[in-house]
Amino acid sequence: MSKGFLEIENLSQRFPQPDSNDLLTVFEGVDVTIDKGEFVCLIGHSGCGKSTILNVLAGLATPTDGNVIMDNKEIKGPSLDQGVIFQNHSLLPWLTARDNVMFAVRARWPNWSKAKRREHAERYLHMVGLDDAMDRKPSQLSGGMRQRVGIARAFAIEPKLLLMDEPFGALDALTRGVIQEELLKIWSETHQTVFMITHDVDEAILLADRVLLMTNGPHAQVAESVKIDIPRPRTRATLHQEEAYYPIRNHLVDFLVEGAKVMSAKAQEAAARGDNPRHTPRIVNPARPEAEPEHSSQPGPRMVRAV
Amino acid sequence: MLSNLNFRATVLSLVMLVVFLGVWQLATAPDVLAPQQGELSEYERLMGGGTDRTSSSGIPAPTQVFSHAFSELSNPFYDAGPNDKGIGIQLAYSIYRVLLGFALAALIAIPLGFVIGMSPLLNKAFDPYIQILKPISPLAWMPLALFVIRDSNMSAIFVIFICSIWPMLVNTAYGVASVRNDWLNVAKTHQLSNLRTAFTVILPAAAPTILTGMRISIGIAWLVIVAAEMLVGGTGIGYYIWNEWNNLDLASVIFAIIMIGIVGFLLDASLAQATKFVRYAD
Ligand SMILES: Nc1ncnc2c1ncn2[C@@H]1O[C@H](COP(=O)(O)OP(=O)(O)O)[C@@H](O)[C@H]1O
Ligand SMILES: [Mg+2]
């Protein structure tokens, strides 16, 4: 069995409910493998458990079942190996943009001199186009600029895995577009492994090597792994001219409109029957449907019965 | 716009001052309130007869208070025995007691508040004691303090200590407990040690709340010191007021009241200034 860089194994999360003794199963039996340097997006309806999965990867939450192995080590808690960018920037408001990044750099390399930390921080702030705003506090920055500082801070510590939870969700469409391209630029220079949650299909197609699709909860599953077979470098302006763009887009939208619901109902029936919920996502390449390696006539996730 | 507003407010303040002083001056003028001129009222006879220092009503006119203030302030640090010291010396005693009691309280309240704020268990365990001890008038501790400490000066400082501690303790605990989870997650994902988290994340995040507590404390301490010094006697602005009342020197009493207000204002303003350095916009 070949091990990937990041192995999510049989992951399940159940929460106690306020008005019942039964646990609420948010998702269960999730198996996902992510390779080094891959950019993976996770899409699913609100409440299906995306943030919960990301928090487990960040080490900020403990799953009910299963585990996550990164670089042959189990993730047991938060660490500098996992950089996190949240939707609400989470910058320290009493520090300037530069000091926020230097704060992270100092945590990562405590022995560096101040000059070296500063130079490193400024390099990353430069990459996200913030040369003129380094001395400003977060309250003096626009929403987009704050999120850029967050990106610079996360990339600056050069984590093994970069986690982003709807990082551009609070931004207007124009700003979002600009920052997406900046993110692509900084990613192409560093080739971090990225796991990002988004609800924007076009954003996922622009950024990702692969999009994971999640069914609705409860008993949510990561049902499909959709390959984004579009050559890089990609730009927003030319993306829709790509032959593969519309097949991919249609597939993702169809899933969100129809598939997520249908498969969710199936998963809940299976759970009621007591089937083993462990599953790996079905691999799909909408750009070349005939070449689908694991094509099956059965829609829905492939169940792994023997564990 | 703003400077215009400031200017108009200043003018209005000055007008109010002039009107107030004018009314005061008129009300204390001998011919207005003393129809039976030449004769001493019963009260005046009781008080040892009318002097040229006070008006017939017993309340000195503002001009008398100002001339008295001028002579006091031109030599604030003279020391002519236990019952006759300059206003500067008396204020210095009071400020010294307030600052010492306040500093001791801060030394205990801020670290303890930090620990209480970080631990929900300690927070709940300490809460009933804080809730019961907090509303006790600090002067109620005075007899116990005098009995245990057997030193009036230290007892006054203890009373300041006990009244300063609660606002700082409660505010520190609250400020620490309500540090945004996002920022704590930043500390966690950057693998900061507990000590580093406390000093580089929690302390700056809670500093404005802690300083607000310190500001409330110093205000209360300055209120309490006057009463405490009236009780223990000896030195201090509270003793000075009580002493001048016994001397029936109301001009000195009014002058001391004004000085208490000014010093209290300066103490508050200095902490307000300190708050500015730690405040952050979210
Ligand atoms: N700590 C928690 N306790 C109880 N329920 C939770 C907790 N965290 C999340 N949930 C529930 O789990 C579900 C998934 O939440 P979340 O992962 O935030 O969804 P998403 O990010 O996909 O919108 C929601 O129904 C939410 O109410
Ligand atoms: Mg979420």
Quote the CA–CA distance of A155 and A83 in Å, as a whole number. Answer: 7
Q: Would you kindly state where each structural domain of chain A is located, as residue ranges?
A: 6-80+163-172+180-297, 82-158
| Predicted TM-score of the model (pTM) | 0.82
Q: Are strands A222-227 and A282-284 parallel, antiparallel or unpaired?
A: parallel
Sheet containing A73-74: which strands, arranged edge to edge?
A73-74, A65-70, A6-16, A23-34, A279-280, A302-303
Stretch B212-235: mean pLDDT = 94
- Of A176, A77, A185, A174, the residue nearest A129 (C-alpha): A185
Please indicate if any CB of chain B lies within 8 Å of the CB of A82: yes
Range of the domain at B147: 87-278
Contact between chains at B182 and A88 (C-beta distance less than 8 A): yes
Quote the CA–CA distance of B205 and A95 in Å, as a whole number. Answer: 11
Contact between chains at B190 and A103 (C-beta distance less than 8 A): yes
Stretch B171-192: mean pLDDT = 94
- Flag the least confident range among B78-87, B105-114, B263-272: B78-87
The model's confidence at residue B42, banded by pLDDT at 50, 70 and 90, is low
Stretch A240-257: mean pLDDT = 92
pLDDT for the residue B49: 47
pLDDT for the residue B57: 61
Between A68 and A306, where is the model more confident?
A: A68
Number of H helices, E strands in chain A: 9, 13
Q: Quick check: is B58 in a domain?
A: no
- Flag the least confident range among A129-133, A203-207, A284-288, B153-157: A284-288
Q: Is A17 in the pocket of ligand 1 (CB under 6 A)?
A: no
C-beta atoms surrounding A271 within 10 Å: 16
| Integer CA distances (angstroms), A269 to A220, A276, A307, in order | 12, 12, 20
Distance B85 CA to ligand 1 centre (A): 70
- Among B183, B189, B281, select the one facing A84 at the smallest CB separation: B189
Q: Domains in chain B: how many in total?
A: 1
Please check the confidence at residue B204 and state whether its pLDDT lies above 90.
yes
**Multiple choice CATH, A6-80+163-172+180-297, 3.30.565.10, 3.40.50.300, 3.90.650.10, 3.40.50.10860:** 3.40.50.300
Stretch B168-173: mean pLDDT = 96
The DSSP annotation for A151-215 comes to HHHHHHT--SEEEEESTTTTS-HHHHHHHHHHHHHHHHHH--EEEEE-S-HHHHHHH-SEEEEE-
Contact between chains at B190 and A139 (C-beta distance less than 8 A): no
- Of B160, B186, B48, the residue nearest A106 (C-alpha): B186
Quote the CA–CA distance of B40 and B52 in Å, as a whole number. Answer: 13
- Of B135, B107, B111, the residue nearest B122 (C-alpha): B111
Ligand 1 nearest-atom number relative to CA A52: 17
pLDDT for the residue B56: 52
pLDDT for the residue A266: 85
Q: Are strands A161-165 and A193-197 parallel, antiparallel or unpaired?
A: parallel
- Among A92, A94, A139, select the one facing B186 at the smallest CB separation: A92
Please check the confidence at residue A106 and state whether its pLDDT lies above 80.
yes
Bridge partner list, A27: A13, A220
* pLDDT, averaged across chain A: 88
Stretch B75-82: mean pLDDT = 84
Q: What is the pLDDT of residues A168-179, one digit of tens each?
A: 888 888 888 888
Structure tokens at B236: 């201090």
pLDDT for the residue A253: 94
**3-class state of residue A77 by DSSP:** coil
Bond preceding residue A286 cis, omega within 30 of 0: no
Which residues on chain A are in Cβ contact (under 8 Å) with B192?
107
The model's confidence at residue A259, banded by pLDDT at 50, 70 and 90, is confident
Bond preceding residue A233 cis, omega within 30 of 0: yes
> For the domain that residue B264 is a member of, what is the CATH number?
1.10.3720.10
The model's confidence at residue B72, banded by pLDDT at 50, 70 and 90, is confident
Bridge partner list, A161: A82, A193
Residue keyed to tokens 């340097």: A37
Please check the confidence at residue A129 and state whether its pLDDT lies above 50.
yes
Stretch B168-182: mean pLDDT = 95
Please indicate if any CB of chain B lies within 8 Å of the CB of A94: yes
* Alpha-helical runs (H) found in B56-119: 62-74, 87-118
pLDDT for the residue A296: 46
Q: Provide the residue type at A240 as one letter.
A: H
The model's confidence at residue A306, banded by pLDDT at 50, 70 and 90, is very low
* pLDDT, averaged across chain B: 89
Please indicate if any CB of chain A lies within 8 Å of the CB of B191: yes
Phi, psi of A24 (to 5 degrees): -90, 115
Please indicate if any CB of chain A lies within 8 Å of the CB of B4: no
Structure tokens at B22: 């004018």
> Residue B205, class by beta-carbon neighbours within 10 Å (0-12 exposed, 13-18 middle, 19+ buried)?
buried
The model's confidence at residue A18, banded by pLDDT at 50, 70 and 90, is confident
Ligand 1 nearest-atom number relative to CA A46: 23
**From the CA atom positions of chain B, what is the Rg in Å?**
24
**3-class state of residue A73 by DSSP:** strand
Please indicate if any CB of chain A lies within 8 Å of the CB of B192: yes
Bridge partner list, B216: none
Quote the CA–CA distance of A223 and A220 in Å, as a whole number. Answer: 9
Residue identifier of the C-alpha nearest atom 20 of ligand 1:
A47
Stretch B84-96: mean pLDDT = 90
pLDDT for the residue B53: 46
Q: Quick check: is B136 in a domain?
A: yes
Quote the minimal CA–CA distance from A26 to chain B in Å.
Answer: 23
Quote the minimal CA–CA distance from A19 to chain B in Å.
Answer: 25
Q: What is the pLDDT of residues B120-143, one digit of tens each?
A: 999 999 999 999 999 999 999 999
The ligand minimizing its distance to the Cα of A52 is 1
Q: What is the pLDDT of residues A28-46, one digit of tens each?
A: 999 999 999 999 999 999 9
